[in-house]
Amino acid sequence: MANVSRDVDGPESTNTNPLRRLSLEQLRRRTSMKWRTYPHDVLPLWVAEMDVPLAEPVAEAITDAVALGDTGYPAGTAYAEALAEFARKRWGWEGLAVERTAIVPDVMLGVVEMLKLVSSPGDPVIVNSPVYPPFYQFVGHLDRVVVESPLGPDLRIDLDVLEEVFRHAARDAARPVFLLCSPHNPTGTVHTAAELARIAHLAREHGVRLVADEIHAPIVASGASFVPFLSVPGAENGLSLMSASKAWNLAGLKAALAIAGPEAADDLARMPEEVSHGPSHLGVIAHTTALREGGAWLDALLDGLDDNRRLLAALLAEHLPAVGYTPAQGTFLAWLDCRELGLGGDPAEVFLQRGRVALNSGSTFGTGGDGFARLNLAASPEVVTEAVRRMGLAVT
């Protein structure tokens, strides 16, 4: 499926790189998790918040809603309609049917609700480790069992291993589920249409239901193409969670969409009505506006992230040549192989204590994460440069 041009919103495409618009002093006034977890002398490049101002149309929509007192419960299908149009423009996907969607509080709570619909307590939930740590936490709290299908050495899904895991899961449980991360967090891998079609085929063959977390879908590097899982042959009984949260930095404005393939419509229809009360109405307004009017802002961000990926590669070569790094095709995350540095299983702790740079510990991402660290690239080039300089000094 070919990418559609990033420039879809006309004159606003002259927007400057959002990653360059806020100073460190301005960012330190924020009270969110990224900026309040560590002392002020620490550069925070960890949790998935971006160092950007809100896209202007989004800020205006929120301000207008507050001025009107439009702060009640969410209603209607505007969010789904906006996402369907965005998917058509950006990914060439015509198959997002508004009638097979439902608003949910956020992607991970939506994942929980989908797992409740298609599995039972004690059933296995298969994940591709190393993977987003809340997969383990939420699945465990839901009384399901996490089963790992490790990524291959190339950080792509090992389809042979996945097939074997599917086979065992189907033999041992009535309703196994595969929880797909697409694009993959933390590696930034963007799955191809062929890979996704093969996964859909294997899932059908072994009676495994599939739930896809596609929260990073709009964030792809130049030359990469995101493919919605529900767009590939065989995925008709799949379920997906999508959101504008990551691409427009709206984590604090809670809202997401659950999307069902044609054969999963009845499953989604069984979701309790009260789940739709969980999203923020302001969140729905913000996400809808981002999808409809934030395309040029997103384009500028994607260009800035491309620059930062190249910058990080050059900085690591200069300051930390022993660190393995492959610029990701998607997300604003970098997965750093620090095993050759001899820092043990948690290099992020060393970078924090000695360098005053906060990264995510690779060990929290499951099997395959020891000796790795995850770095958030959604910062200014100056902050990224200073962070890598400090990291280099921390190991000398």
| Tens digit of each residue's pLDDT (9 = 90 or more) over 131-143 | 999 999 999 999 9
Name the fold adopted by 10-55+295-394.
Answer: Aspartate Aminotransferase, domain 1 (3.90.1150)
In the chain, list all ranges with CATH 3.40.640.10. 72-293
Q: Work out the average pLDDT over 116-121.
A: 96
Higher pLDDT, 7 or 362: 362
DSSP 210: E
Residue 144: its pLDDT value, please? 97
Whole-number average pLDDT of the chain: 95
Q: Is a pLDDT exceeding 50 seen at residue 10?
A: no
User: Tell me, what DSSP letter sits at residue 395?
Assistant: T
The torsion angles phi and psi of 390, rounded to 5 degrees, stand at -65, -40
DSSP 301: H
- Give the DSSP letter of residue 191: -
- Partners of residue 124 on adjacent β-strands: 145
Which candidate, 389, 234, 377, places its Cα nearest to that of 310? 377
Please check the confidence at residue 146 and state whether its pLDDT lies above 50: yes
On the question of pLDDT at 299 being above 50, the answer is: yes
Q: What percent of the chain has pLDDT over 90?
A: 95
Report the alpha-carbon distance of residue 206 to residue 66 in Å, rounded. Answer: 50
Token pair for 303:
């260009």
29-32-37 Cα angle (round to 5): 95
- Contact between 133 and 186 under an 8 Å Cβ cutoff? The reply is no
Specify the pLDDT at position 7.
39
**Whole-angstrom distance, CA of residue 339 vs CA of residue 262:** 45
Alpha carbon distance 249, 216 (integer Å): 11
> 155 and 99 in contact (C-beta within 8 Å)?
no
CATH architecture for residues 72-293 = 3-Layer(aba) Sandwich (3.40)
Q: What is the pLDDT of residue 6?
A: 38
Taking the C-alpha atoms of residue 266 and residue 261, their distance in angstroms, rounded to an integer, is 10
Helices (H), the chain: 24-27, 33-36, 56-68, 78-91, 107-118, 134-141, 159-172, 193-206, 265-269, 281-293, 295-319, 347-355, 381-394
When pLDDT is averaged across residues 154-164 and rounded to a whole number, the result is 98
What pTM was estimated for this model as a whole?
0.94
Outline which parts of the chain fall under CATH 3.90.1150.10. 10-55+295-394
Strand ranges (DSSP E) for 129-260?
145-148, 177-181, 209-213, 239-242, 256-260
Whole-number pLDDT of residue 260: 98
pLDDT tens, position by position, 208-244 = 999 999 999 999 999 999 999 999 999 999 999 999 9
